[in-house]
A and B are shown apart, each in its own frame.
Chain A
């Protein structure tokens, strides 16, 4: 009987797997095989089935996420792509917003568009802002492009016209002409991929979709065939950046929606843990080797956004990447991880990241020739890791090398010994992460009051209590399976799809009929996508309008009822806007009309009731040890160290102490208390006896 649920998350370095069956969960990690990722997946699936004693026929569902699309963009390994656009607008992708992401760096480099100028082709046509034709499309000019596209061996094509999201007729006409002549070249239309205002973001998204499409299609079809060949008949779903799941057909059509699926899985993992534990206000904190990802989760749902930047060239700086306008789980990602390098700047200030030591040479303490101190070196120098037991004892750490690097690059310049230099590095990286969380909360109109921090990833549990202190948070949760959180998150995601469209409206002239027609069409589209994977499971629908005061630039989301609107709904929606605005920004603005820019409809299956799968039991040899650790006041004292596996429900451990496990360590700072909850998660509370 096919009852097992299997998740596979391909990351840059590791492919993570998680399988759940009969209330048990097993996880595994293997190296990614970049040259043929589907092979790694199939090997991993085979291995985890063998380890659990299951067969292909036992798998009831397989959920997959991958960084393949993101990597193709970062490494510029996508298809030869051309863009057909409005005459006079050949350089929208190159000109961007005409600004520099760093005001003071004369030598900045801006990201190259995915389509070079000689493949950005224009045709005469023009619509106005209401979709009226100012200049008809010239079919002869479109046909004239065919030999150019053939000569340049274009493998994928994007079509985007100015105001094409209001009226897509010209895009369709151009598509029909070109598709007939170039049957093997996939075509992405801006009005399908990202039907929203702002030409740079829309064209950039469309071009990115076209750029990754051939490669993603080949990969996904190959994976499907491979899995079928090994006898897996279960439906295959893909994780979307917005947090939902979709089938292979939709993924092949809109592969750009697969970017950031790994981090999205992490956020869903947090949301699920929040739901299990009844935590309605959560800060999700996922710290890995090169970056930390921070996400706010209210009422068990991660925040979502409609814009994202991929492949930043300027040290993770906002504005240095390619804009994508797709539904994403909203999070901030900063260059702060275990491998982030620390240094001292011209003002004698310690700075950390975003440059990372990576896996090779890695932090100085790996003993592979690294001489610059990384965050992991600082944690080791503070006594937070047992050098013999790092990564489950598979890796010997070298404290001398860490100390030497800290002294040479930090301590020597500031008159600090290695221990205090390490403290400076850790305090700075923690402060940077806390500041990123603060700015993120401000941008979302939220606070940290009564929030629980959920920490995972290799570094999350190490840094969690200090960051919580900096944000005034008094409760931290470290779930089990923290090392493969994204893969576990995949198992919790609903089958869902989000459709976003623009239709300009003002409340003073609100056209109920037009809005209802649009919303109905959007709902039908989303239902159709979901039906392909939901197998008749019940679904829910969420409708949202993005609105702002006339004249403002940033919209806020306001929920709409999931049914046709009636005329007398309109004043209530307007009142809801004023309430939302005041919640974000204190004061409503008197006397302004409100305009609606766009709408989103999300259809999804009801998320599974939280199954309480328990990790396969491990040896519970809970021997207690002692370690010398320097705390944040600079004092060195003896801390208790216990193995997490032996830390039983009902027990309580007062900080300062460390709970060690193979993938990470949970630091229990002074003034914090740890216990294990019924799910086996470590719960840390501050100041409570």
Chain B
């Protein structure tokens, strides 16, 4: 009998864990459906999660992007330090965009909402979303301190027992180039937390729960044990790796020494370059977020994200290095370097578990923030036409690194989890024309498994009038590396259509009659190119993904003018 009761309890706890994940998934879906910023609703740059009374994340929505998720996991404690749980009331919502208390730059809003059941506070819901504009210089790496990067919202109440904090909303509206979108997004973040608190209360009612604590203990215990078991499967030892980012105006070196213990992984970032004078610095929470993601995706991909499954990944980030930026260093484009951290981690892991690791990819998103109108061109004078004022960002990706048994993915975001926006949708909200957006032949690193292809974009303003880009691109001077004899992916290129190269970072003008041309990096290859199946090389040639010349030179594969494999000539080349 008591066996059956304990067996039933085992089953019920599993059911509750699943239910909790469903609740936070609903939270994320409501945000996507109600959000205003294209970054949230089209690109999915968001996260959502539920926390226990001690501020430990219990579950997180599958929908969302790693940089938000793992850094948001740390943020609830900051809210509780300022507003103790005992002071919170139903209908309260708290907000911040503090890069050091939230997810690393002012464009990310984090909202925390207490959850009540039968009159008692039982936990918290938190979410994060990337909004398009918070004033300041706008999205980009140009600022010299966080004060130039936009409005700074400390942790404050945005709703007090259901009543909006009108003073705050006044300030938000006044401080943004896109006041309607910003206000709408804050409403959306609060609405999705409201729905989640209702759903949690229903669940606790159904299962006669007074507290989330026993469930939290079960989730944490199972997750910690499973994560530790996975770590134990990786060879113990110390491995180190370094990679380079292009930096703002000088290269940035990223170093990691990874020590795999039997129950934890320790990363020491000693040797990494110092802080930059511009907005590419990374707050430590964001460093931990993407480094943990890089570890988790190799070591324990199946285990849901929560406080305990992230805890065994420990980081030492020396003070004064670019991965541990203190306030008030500029951090707006912190994702450029943050997105390279999984590649840095996988370079270490490759030394102990090569069969589970991918080659380096484009990794950093190629998101050109575009601006036109008076802010770029001043007043119209004489016959000179000026484009109407606009501000927009589109999300685009290069290729991912080749996998041990699979080619890399063409033009696909990794490690970020965002989506691109349809060109037709973008052209409906800003006076621009995207003349070209297609794969970039010969950009995937050659290998037994080929790196994913980058893409080419050609962007003009309507009528080819003047506009500006706040360049935020990486892997132009430092191509994604191949592994095990696989070649590097192609470097990125940023230039005018007329030919002049542009800087990879910072605001630059595309003059009347010209266009912006972006050639995004391809992923690195895996294994010797000459060991790639000739038939697959020929298919790539036929599809125009690899040129006949590259097939011959790099893969030692001969094809005819229609891309058909010439077996005899190939045998001779490969002999």
Contacts and interface: CB of A to CB of B under 8 A. Distances in A.
Contact of B422 (A99, A199, A586, A587): A199
A554 B33 contact: yes
A439 B403 contact: no
Given A349-B17, A587-B191, A442 B230 contact: no
Contact of B7 (A162, A347, A420, A592): A420
Interface string A617-637: 000000000000000011100
A546 interface: no
B15 A106 contact: no
Interface in B409-430: 409-414, 417-420, 422-425, 427-428
Contacts of A110: 409, 412
B420 A99 contact: yes
Interface string A578-619: 000000011101111000000000000000000000000000
Given A98-B395, A98-B411, A129-B427, A91 B438 contact: yes
A136 to B, nearest CB: 15
Contacts, number: 223
Interface string B43-76: 0100000000000000000101110000000000
Nearest to B66: A103
A99 B410 contact: no
A346 interface: yes
Contacts of A200: 422
B545 A117 contact: yes
A554 B184 CA distance: 13
B297 A106 contact: yes
A38 to B, nearest CB: 36
B44 A99 contact: yes
Given A91-B439, A118-B542, A439 B420 contact: no
Nearest to B356: A106
Nearest to A551: B36
Given A98-B419, A128-B462, A552 B428 contact: no
A416 B7 contact: yes
Q: How large is the interface on A (under 10, 10 to 19, 20 to 34, 35 or more residues)?
A: 35 or more
B191 A586 contact: yes
B297 A104 contact: yes
Contacts of A95: 410-411, 420, 437-439, 455
Contacts of A94: 410-411, 439
B398 to A, nearest CB: 10
A280 to B, nearest CB: 23
A585 B423 contact: no
Interface string B372-414: 0000000000000000000000011100000101100111111
Contacts of B513: none
B427 A346 contact: no
A116 B38 CA distance: 30
Contact of B417 (A103, A129, A345): A103
A644 interface: no
Given A95-B410, A98-B420, A585-B34, A346 B303 contact: yes
A121 B497 CA distance: 23
Given A90-B439, A100-B417, A553 B180 contact: no
Given A104-B297, A106-B358, A428 B417 contact: no
Interface string A89-117: 11110110111100111111110000011
Given A106-B358, A347-B223, A550-B180, A439 B22 contact: yes
Contacts of A432: 18
B296 interface: yes
* Among A97, A99, A591, A634: residue with most chain B CB under 10 A: A99
A534 B410 CA distance: 49
A253 interface: no
A98 B180 CA distance: 28
Interface string A470-511: 101000000000000000000000000000000010000000
A129 B428 contact: yes
Nearest to B10: A414
A199 B33 CA distance: 20
Contact of B428 (A197, A586, A592): A197
Nearest to A104: B301
B168 interface: no
A198 B455 CA distance: 19
Contacts of B116: none
B554 interface: no
B70 to A, nearest CB: 11
B458 interface: yes
A438 B26 contact: yes
A107 B302 contact: no
A590 B164 CA distance: 12
A424 B423 contact: no
A348 B222 contact: yes
Given A100-B417, A346-B229, A586 B35 contact: no
Contact of B11 (A199, A347, A423): A423
A107 B184 contact: no
Interface in A429-450: 431-432, 435, 438-439, 442-443
Contacts of A87: 436
A118 B14 contact: no
Contacts of B202: 472
A128 B433 contact: yes
Interface in A11-68: none
A88 interface: yes
A553 B35 contact: yes
A104 B296 contact: yes
Contacts of A635: 4
B191 A585 contact: yes
A443 B30 CA distance: 7
Contacts of A633: 8
A88 B303 contact: no
B439 A346 contact: no
A686 interface: no
B90 to A, nearest CB: 15
A588 to B, nearest CB: 9
B29 A439 contact: yes
A126 interface: yes
B125 to A, nearest CB: 15
Given A117-B543, A427-B11, A439-B25, A349 B222 contact: yes
Given A420-B4, A428-B14, A88 B427 contact: no
A163 interface: yes
A70 to B, nearest CB: 25
B226 interface: yes
B571 interface: no
A442 B30 contact: yes
Contacts of B17: 349
A100 B414 contact: yes
A682 interface: no
B544 interface: yes
Given A99-B413, A106-B356, A552-B41, A424 B14 contact: yes
Nearest to A430: B15
A617 to B, nearest CB: 42
Nearest to B6: A415
Nearest to B33: A554
Given A94-B410, A98-B420, A589-B187, A198 B194 contact: no
A687 to B, nearest CB: 15
Nearest to A554: B33
B19 interface: yes
A98 B225 CA distance: 35
A590 B34 CA distance: 14
Given A347-B223, A589-B187, 9 more contacts: A98-B397, A106-B301, A110-B409, A126-B433, A128-B433, A128-B462, A349-B17, A551-B37, A552-B41
Q: Which 7 pairs from chain A and chain B are nearest by CB?
A: A553-B41, A88-B436, A117-B543, A435-B22, A97-B419, A99-B419, A98-B420
20 contacts: A95-B455, A98-B412, A99-B417, A106-B356, A106-B403, A108-B409, A109-B406, A117-B439, A134-B433, A163-B427, A199-B424, A345-B302, A346-B229, A346-B230, A347-B226, A350-B14, A427-B11, A442-B26, A504-B428, A554-B32
